[in-house]
Structure 1
Amino acid sequence: MARFILSFLFFAFVFYPSQAQIEGPIRISENQRFFQNKDGTPFFWLADTAWELFHRTTKEEAKYYLETRANQGFNVVQAVALAELDGLNTPNSYGNKPFLSLEPFLMNESYWEYVDDIVDLAKENGIHIALLPTWGDKLYKNSWGVGPEIFNENTAYEFGKWIGKRYADRKNLIWVLGGDRNPREGTKDAHIWNRMAEGILEEQKNDNPILITFHPQPNTPAGSSTWFHSENWLDFNMHQTGHCPNQATYRMITHDYDLKPVKPTLDGEPLYEEHPNCFNAKELGYSNPDDIRRIMYWNVFAGAAGQTYGCHAVWQMYTLDRSPINGPLKPWHISLDLPMANQVKHLKNLMLSMPYLSRIPDFNLVMDEQEDDEHFVIATRDQDWTYMMLYFPTGKAVSIDFSSFSGTLSAKWFDPRTGVSFDYTGAPISNEISLIEPPSRGKGNDWVLVVKNP
């Protein structure tokens, strides 16, 4: 009854999301650093993690979710076809499992038609689906995986071909292999993922090339690039920086940014909103927006091609009649409107407000000695020195080198909490080293200084 009422309430809502037109899959920019649309305009990856979207929603719920996220500025949703939470044995909301038989694979068309419908609904809302063919425990389990393990070199290839062919025509798709599992050393794990990618690519259409990446576990220095950077199928790298608040995540992005061949990189799973810090709510509490903002701005200013957001209740589509995973604080439909879900669009809008495809990180502009702690100030600029952005996580004053600019400089403060900008009123900024002091200081008082030649 509870689920019926919830579905009815969702169906009754009327939303008017922005209808961003999707003409084709996103592509890699000419400099290999970023993404762009088919027409060449920049595409800033702003994703939400909804791993259980296909498994734990009705169509009315999925529609409500996608329309809400579209209105909040998201343009990518990461979701899993063979879901994490017992996705092979527990049916979806309509009583369907993905397979009628596992030996041999016999697909349940009713299940996959629902996946089709949600991918199409996403496109109607201007959202790309970053589709994981499977969660990683279907290849090998760990402490929280329930399997069963169904993939080997042959079945991974066969499934890759099947799912690759089914979605080869989709204009709003991105492939994400992996699923929170790292290939184990001394095993064939990496080769099995290679075989799945091979199957997908064999069904790829030349006029509709769909990008592919790999979603790893955290606590690796290099994420997907650890195993697959040199593989031709890996179009861009992905990290999972994990669910602890105080990590120098920009160092992970920098690792990939410096690799050859050049490929885009991004954080595909950061600290989730309302997630127990380091999985230890009793001693460390739950995540808060300023920690999440810091991670996101650090990553993007370090050169990431975008950023993924996540909410702990939303990824698992938690409701009161479901067993909670790691202590979500409220049902998912309420958690859709948390602070960071509405603030993260300001990051996307800020980055796209300036020349984007020529943007580079610059760790040499901050002149003061810095520790890898929550106060770390980070800078990005374009190659032609027409603008610079500086992110101050806690409002700490630092000395900045403006000497490479030519001409008169103008500056504005940008508030990451509201997206509001206002004129810089401190000591005049000249073409030399200047001490910059943000409008306020302390935890939660993060600011961006935008400096440009007028």
Structure 2
Amino acid sequence: MSLNIAENQRSFTKEDKPFFYLADTVWSVFTNATIEEWSDYLDYRKMQGFNVLQINMLRQWDASESDLNLQPFALLENGDFDYHTLNEAYFDRAEIMLKMAVERGFVPALVLLWCNYVPDTWAEMFQKGNKMPFECVEPYVTYVVNRFSPFDPIFLVSGDSDFPTERANSYYLKALDIVQQLSPASLTTLHIQGRLREIPPAFEKHKGLGFYMYQSGHNSQFQHVAHEIAQHFYHKSDIRPVINGEPCYEQISYSRNVYGRYTALDARKAAWQSLLAGGGAGITYGAHGIWSWHKKGKKFGIVEGEGFDSPYDWRTALRFEGAWDYSFIKYLFEMYNLIGIKPLDIVLNKTEEIRAAGNENTLILYVPVNTKVRLSINVQDYKFTTIDLAGKRFAQTDVSVQKDQSVLDMHSFESDVVIIGTK
């Protein structure tokens, strides 16, 4: 059963029930993971409650080194792809892997054209050749859609893409048109470059585009865009669900070779701020070692890419604590009926870091650093609970109300919290 857009255009449904999009980033599994590894991975993420898997249909340009030597196309003498000749064995294996995922209840989200396969994109500075000829886009996309649409996937038409020229855009438009023509029930989106907040009108107005996906990314100077871009897309005149499809990955280093790595707290903060600022349809998690499917002793950074420090072995990365934080987010959103929740401008504190959202019966606040929270509304009809996100502990919450304003006192925890008020 394929995913659908809810009536309010702000979230998803599956089998007529609200669906919280909780994805993991596994771009490189088709080229790097053995079938046995894939099975173990799927079982673990299923246990945690993940329900979407974001996968690159082709070879991820900055994947870790692999012994499997799996290529989606035949190779030319110089090592470039012969885009006119599909490697059927590669796609046979991908079909087996998708069948395993779907049988466990996952929705595949398949990237059709990562930016390095398209001319003129920002990837050109790192990889000038080996681009897909435009005449190969239609047969390739047609093949993929016809072969894999029975798995009810989401199609991510682009991967990490800017939209620099008409030539580059024509690749993505052609792919989007083909998906809509051949599999109109399939949801589509664009996985766009980090911090990008505008897509060309040809895509924004395209009736085949199902939802907005952005990435707040891995640059340590710009983590505030997690909530800024969510808010931006939420207020678009063409209303669609909004997903942060690539917040900072847990334990990935800061991009541009800056020293430091993102912790579980950093990843959690990016998630909550995205969700409450307009991206309330769901969220994507990433672990540094899973997305590139890294194995200890193998090379990383074969393509220079954005300058990241070494990943963890995928088996270690699979068990990072932050994935449980994201699992807990899904649990709370389902338990409190928060899916697709509306952002609210009710926080009087002089910071954008504290986020608020609500629906008819519930208010929710994310407070990354402990302080009194001042609200511009009277909340005397609500009963509040403070949830310690590091320890998963629930506490009663004191609130004072004066006229049309309210104050939630400091809590007793030492990390970030969400405060949920119910009528």
Alignment TM-score, normalising by the size of structure 2? 0.89
Match of 2:314 among 308, 332, 343: 332
Supply the distance in 1 between the matched residues of 2:159 and 2:357 (Cα, whole angstroms): 31
Q: Report the alpha carbon displacement of residue 297 of structure 1 after superposing the two structures with TM.
A: 0.3
Q: Report the alpha carbon displacement of residue 320 of structure 1 after superposing the two structures with TM.
A: 2.1
Alignment correspondent of 2:72: 98
2:329 equivalent to 1:347: yes
2:50 equivalent to 1:74: yes
Supply the distance in 2 between the matched residues of 1:86 and 1:399 (Cα, whole angstroms): 45
Q: Report the alpha carbon displacement of residue 95 of structure 1 after superposing the two structures with TM.
A: 4.0
Counterparts of residues 151-190 of structure 1 (less than 5 Å):
151-152=133-134, 154-171=135-152, 173-185=153-165, 187-190=166-169
Q: Report the alpha carbon displacement of residue 167 of structure 1 after superposing the two structures with TM.
A: 1.4
Match of 2:395 among 422, 426, 451: 422
Alignment correspondent of 2:282: 306
Residues 17-40 of structure 1: CA deviation (Å, up to 9, x unaligned): xxxxxxx11110001110111x22
Supply the distance in 2 between the matched residues of 1:93 and 1:59 (Cα, whole angstroms): 13
2:249 equivalent to 1:272: yes
Q: Percent identity?
A: 23
Q: Report the alpha carbon displacement of residue 328 of structure 1 after superposing the two structures with TM.
A: 2.5
Q: Report the alpha carbon displacement of residue 428 of structure 1 after superposing the two structures with TM.
A: 5.1
Are residues 432 and 225 of structure 1, via their aligned partners in 2, closer, same or farther at CA, if it must alter by over 3 Å?
farther
Helix, strand or coil at the partner of 2:174: helix
Alignment correspondent of 1:211: 187
Q: Report the alpha carbon displacement of residue 226 of structure 1 after superposing the two structures with TM.
A: 6.8
Helix, strand or coil at the partner of 1:142: helix
Helix, strand or coil at the partner of 2:193: coil
Contact map agreement 2:251 2:262 (CA 8 A) in 1: yes
Could you say what the CA RMSD is over the residues aligned between the two structures, in angstroms?
A: 2.4
Supply the distance in 1 between the matched residues of 2:106 and 2:245 (Cα, whole angstroms): 16
Contact map agreement 1:42 1:356 (CA 8 A) in 2: no
Residues 300-338 of structure 1: CA deviation (Å, up to 9, x unaligned): 011211111111211111112321232225211111111
Contact map agreement 2:211 2:242 (CA 8 A) in 1: yes
Match of 2:386 among 404, 409, 413: 413
Runs ≥4 in structure 1, deviation > 6 angstroms?
A: none
Helix, strand or coil at the partner of 2:269: helix
Contact map agreement 2:400 2:407 (CA 8 A) in 1: no
Q: Report the alpha carbon displacement of residue 111 of structure 1 after superposing the two structures with TM.
A: 0.7
Amino acid at match of 2:156: V
Are residues 135 and 92 of structure 1, via their aligned partners in 2, closer, same or farther at CA, if it must alter by over 3 Å?
farther
Unpaired runs of 5+ in structure 1? 1-23
Supply the distance in 2 between the matched residues of 1:76 and 1:138 (Cα, whole angstroms): 24
Higher RCO (CA < 8 A, seq sep 6+): 2
Alignment correspondent of 1:438: 410
Are residues 361 and 435 of structure 1, via their aligned partners in 2, closer, same or farther at CA, if it must alter by over 3 Å?
same
Counterparts of residues 49-448 of structure 1 (less than 5 Å):
49-85=25-61, 94-100=68-74, 105-140=84-119, 141-145=123-127, 148-152=130-134, 154-171=135-152, 173-185=153-165, 187-204=166-183, 209-222=185-198, 224=199, 228-245=203-220, 246-282=223-259, 285-304=260-279, 305-325=281-301, 326-356=308-338, 359-363=341-345, 365-368=346-349, 370-372=350-352, 376-382=353-359, 384=360, 386-403=361-378, 408-424=381-397, 426-427=398-399, 432-440=404-412, 445-448=415-418
**Mean Cα deviation higher: 42-51 or 324-333:** 324-333
Are residues 279 and 226 of structure 1, via their aligned partners in 2, closer, same or farther at CA, if it must alter by over 3 Å?
farther
Supply the distance in 2 between the matched residues of 1:175 and 1:26 (Cα, whole angstroms): 11
Q: Report the alpha carbon displacement of residue 431 of structure 1 after superposing the two structures with TM.
A: 7.7
Supply the distance in 1 between the matched residues of 2:386 and 2:200 (Cα, whole angstroms): 36
Q: Report the alpha carbon displacement of residue 249 of structure 1 after superposing the two structures with TM.
A: 1.8
Amino acid at match of 1:106: T
Are residues 303 and 431 of structure 1, via their aligned partners in 2, closer, same or farther at CA, if it must alter by over 3 Å?
farther
Residues 84-109 of structure 1: CA deviation (Å, up to 9, x unaligned): 2388xx99755442123765622222
Q: Report the alpha carbon displacement of residue 435 of structure 1 after superposing the two structures with TM.
A: 1.7
Supply the distance in 2 between the matched residues of 1:117 and 1:156 (Cα, whole angstroms): 24
2:420 equivalent to 1:450: yes
Supply the distance in 1 between the matched residues of 2:57 and 2:229 (Cα, whole angstroms): 28
Unpaired runs of 5+ in structure 2? 76-80, 302-307
Q: Report the alpha carbon displacement of residue 253 of structure 1 after superposing the two structures with TM.
A: 0.7
Alignment correspondent of 1:19: none
Amino acid at match of 1:447: V
Are residues 272 and 147 of structure 1, via their aligned partners in 2, closer, same or farther at CA, if it must alter by over 3 Å?
farther
Supply the distance in 2 between the matched residues of 1:63 and 1:430 (Cα, whole angstroms): 56
Supply the distance in 2 between the matched residues of 1:128 and 1:448 (Cα, whole angstroms): 28
Instruction: Give the total of aligned pairs.
Output: 406
Supply the distance in 2 between the matched residues of 1:147 and 1:65 (Cα, whole angstroms): 34
Amino acid at match of 2:387: F
